[in-house]
Chain A
Amino acid sequence: MSSNSFSSVTRRRLLQASGAVAGAGALGSVGPLAAAEPIKIGILHSLSGTMAISETTLKDVMLMLIDAQNKKGGVIGRPLEAVVVDPASNWPLFAEKARELIAKDKVSVAFGCWTSVSRKSVLPVFKELDSLLFYPVQYEGEESERNVVYTGAAPNQQAIPAVDYLASADGGEVKRWVLAGTDYVYPRTTNKILEAYLKKKGVAPDDIMINYTPFGQSDWQTIVADIKRFGSSGKKTAVVSTINGDANVPFYKELGNQGIAATDIPVCAFSVGEEELAGMDTKPLVGHLAAWNNFESIDTPANKAFIEQWHAFTKNPKRTTNDPMEAHYIGFNMWVKAVEKAGSAEPDKVIDTLVGITQDNLTGGTAELLANHHITKPVFIGEIKADGQFDVVWKSDKLIAGDAWSRELDGSKDLVGDWKTLKCGNYNTVTKKCGA
């Protein structure tokens, strides 16, 4: 409640600061660029409130990417200008700020949102004003919109490969599953998909335990004891965790306290990355797993260069990089290529050229923007190390195409999103009709 209502003083100060940043960028790029009218890029990430912990970094990485692109001469001869707003972890404010960016600031594209509820809240605005949003976070899927590009993982690019890995010989041939999550839309949908998938693979309903906790849960004693009891049946048990943000620290602490080691009951998390680990006492987490599409520790020249660029830009050699940052890197470069191909930054024209654009991943392979506005991604499973980094223990042998609509759920398995030929986000392949 209280995080939602930030004083306007703070907001104004942030706006001034962002204006100063944008101004400095424009000043730096004298020469031919200065003459052309800048292309405005909206950055819609919470800089205050509960989500600031994750989203501030994404604002910084966008400023870095825009700065670097300006040094290369901008796009189609025009400099880029960042417009930063602070929706303050307040979902209705996200919609207001989105409208402000598109209608008042006339941005050509926006990069932003973290939580699904914030994306759902801005969606009508982007549709109504026909603008373009790049959404960089892994999410629950079941959506394909003309005005949104999903550069984060869909469930089949993170959750399902992770479950496959745990069930394989390498992952310990897990037979019993705890699906633990925070009580909101992403964990609920992901767990629904996983439950259907596990049952399809022959896991008995008795071997699946589903548990939801409120946001910011800090007293995990009962639940961890339940998990321990569930895991003491003799079959190998694992926890698939969609526990969000801050609730993770006390959860892992309690696991450690009750003597559950990663070798007894491994936890595979979808929301714990380098950034989150930076503020944790990692001792109780060592050996547990996380599934992502990028890890800072992956040793490729592109990833290294990106990390160096990040350290130089933030003037902090310790700032970590993480998966959603790479998603913004890929999304931004795809947008740049689409603008160059279309010869215009008009959202309408850019959207029509986006499908099929490719961009090299930081960790190898080339991501392609698919007709359903999702992208192809490699999947990695990493083991948490004591220094807060990950040791990759498994990677997918090829890039996996993101499914907008899950094949595991009855309501969505016949649906496809296709913005190239069908121009429809939810085309039903059985009834051959758009609109489910």
Chain B
Amino acid sequence: MTAALAKEKDMRVKTMMDLATAALIALKTSASDADRIAAIKTVAAHGDREALAVLDQVAAASTGAVKAEADAGHAAVTTKLALWGYAQNAWYGLSLGSVLLLAAIGLAITFGVMGVINMAHGEMVMLGAYATFMTQELIRTRYPALFDYSLLIALPVAFAMTGAIGMLIERTIIRFLYGRPLETLLATFGLSLILQQLVRTIFGANNREVGAPAFMAGTTQIGGLSITYGRFWIIIFAVTVFIALQMLLRLTSFGLRIRAVTQNRRMASAIGINTNRADGLAFGLGSGVAGIAGVALSQIDNVSPNLGQSYIIDSFMVVVFGGVGNLWGTLVAAFTLGIGNKFMEPFAGAVLAKIAILVFIILFIQKRPRGLFALKGRAVEA
């Protein structure tokens, strides 16, 4: 073993063999205590689960100084693993948070900024996922070489499609219901059922397969942290969408007009902004963003007519928690809830963690009805 070790060049094989030799010596009761303690130190330095199992065995099979060393090594490895565990949970939380952010960010515009209780928001996400499916099918049959870019190509397709549908909905339904939240809620809820059944009739009730491009498949290991590429890209994507949207609303005249209309409709109208048009565009924008969220979610969830339903509650939760009318609030809320959920899950289990988060939000809203980041000023009271 030692001879083979000296010859080995590949670093990863070398470390593995290092560990194996050390483990053998540590477990050999006939070896001298000094050798065994040195070997235990090597094993402990590896600090992963296999090392832990070896140290367990050594501690059980020996006495005196060797046992003490093995126990100390065991404790050190456990601490290290626990730290990596926290890092891993934080990563999972970021990843869940990015999904929540993507699902909620369109709603942050239609509900948060415009004040429309849009129950059909989830269906916009679902339509975006179906747009991805159709784009990918087309690419698969016509231009298979482009498959790895299919998601990128699907982004504008999904945005245009759901944006157009959103504007159509605003023109034909929502427009007549501004200022009547209850009717809006019922109308958009009905609309969500219609859209679901429509998709079910056209595409069938079965899930549709959306493949993952090569750059989104696989994992990488950083220390004790395993990072899946798919999740990594979704985090990047969510943050990019957020920044782009924030810039659009802050830096362009289009964004300025939307903000003016939502803050004070009559004043905006008085200074010559076409408020009707601004409403339509804002709703289209919110729906379009929901659509591109669907492109990303098609990578981690089922593309089925029920896709939207699983996100609608979470989306409202995030927007309300973050503070209505505030995109930053949505960002902070999404990541807080994501990380909170993932830190609770190992202790409480998936079902209880979800319940605990809901209870927390209910209590929080009792205390701060306007959410994390409340808008101040007269516009809010109106």
Contacts and interface: CB of A to CB of B under 8 A. Distances in A.
Say whether A and B bind each other: yes
B206 A53 contact: yes
Contact of A257 (B53, B209, B230, B301): B230
Contacts of A6: 193, 197
A56 B205 contact: yes
A211 B96 contact: no
A243 to B, nearest CB: 12
B351 A214 contact: yes
Given A3-B306, A212-B350, A222-B342, A48 B200 contact: yes
Could you say which of B92, B206, B228 has the most chain A C-beta atoms within 10 Å of its C-beta?
B206
Contacts of A185: none
A263 interface: no
A250 B301 contact: yes
A116 to B, nearest CB: 18
A183 interface: yes
A214 B304 contact: no
Given A212-B349, A214-B351, A222-B346, A253 B300 contact: yes
A258 B226 contact: yes
Interface residues of A, number: 44
B132 interface: no
Interface string B93-130: 00110010000000000000000000100000000000
Interface in B320-363: 342, 345-346, 349-351, 354
Nearest to B192: A2
Given A213-B351, A279-B208, A53 B53 contact: no
B218 interface: yes
A219 B95 CA distance: 9
A258 B193 contact: no
Interface in A267-287: 275-276, 278-281
A405 B357 CA distance: 38
Contacts of A250: 300-302
B209 A280 contact: yes
Contacts of A421: none
A249 interface: yes
Contacts of A275: 206
B189 A2 contact: yes
Interface in A206-256: 211-214, 216-219, 221-223, 225-226, 229, 232-234, 246, 249-250, 253-254, 256
Given A3-B309, A6-B193, A212-B350, A222 B92 contact: yes
A7 B302 contact: no
Interface residues of B, number: 47
A33 interface: no
Contact of A279 (B88, B99, B206): B206
A232 B99 contact: no
A5 B193 contact: yes
Contact of A219 (B53, B99, B206, B349): B99
A257 B193 CA distance: 33
Given A5-B193, A48-B197, A279-B206, A257 B228 contact: yes
Contacts of A223: 345, 350
B36 interface: no
A10 interface: yes
Nearest to A275: B206
A249 B197 contact: no
Contacts of A276: 207
A258 B49 contact: no
Interface in A30-77: 48, 50, 52-53, 56
Contact of A53 (B226, B228, B304, B354): B304
Contact of B351 (A2, A53, A212): A212
B312 to A, nearest CB: 8
A216 B206 CA distance: 15
B144 interface: no
Contacts of A257: 217-219, 228, 230-231
B209 A216 contact: no
Contacts of A183: 351
A234 B301 contact: no
A278 B208 CA distance: 8
A259 interface: yes
Contacts of B194: 7
B310 interface: yes
B239 interface: no
Contacts of A281: 209-212
B8 interface: no
A56 B204 CA distance: 10
B190 interface: yes
Contact of B301 (A3, A218, A259): A218
Interface in B283-318: 300-304, 306, 309-310
A233 B48 CA distance: 12
Given A6-B197, A275-B206, A214 B192 contact: no
Interface string A263-307: 000000000000110111100000000000000000000000000
B342 A279 contact: no
Nearest to B212: A281
Q: Which 7 A-B pairs have the closest CB atoms?
A: A279-B207, A52-B205, A257-B228, A279-B206, A53-B205, A221-B92, A213-B350
27 contacts: A3-B309, A5-B193, A6-B193, A6-B197, A48-B197, A211-B350, A213-B351, A214-B351, A216-B310, A218-B301, A219-B92, A219-B96, A219-B300, A223-B350, A226-B346, A232-B50, A233-B49, A249-B301, A250-B300, A258-B219, A276-B207, A279-B206, A279-B208, A279-B303, A280-B207, A280-B209, A281-B210
Interface of B: 49-50, 53, 88-89, 92, 95-96, 99, 119, 189-190, 192-194, 197, 200, 205-212, 217-219, 226, 228, 230-231, 300-304, 306, 309-310, 342, 345-346, 349-351, 354
Given A249-B301, A259-B219, A281-B212, 13 more contacts: A7-B194, A10-B197, A48-B197, A211-B350, A212-B351, A213-B350, A218-B301, A222-B92, A222-B350, A232-B49, A246-B306, A257-B219, A257-B231
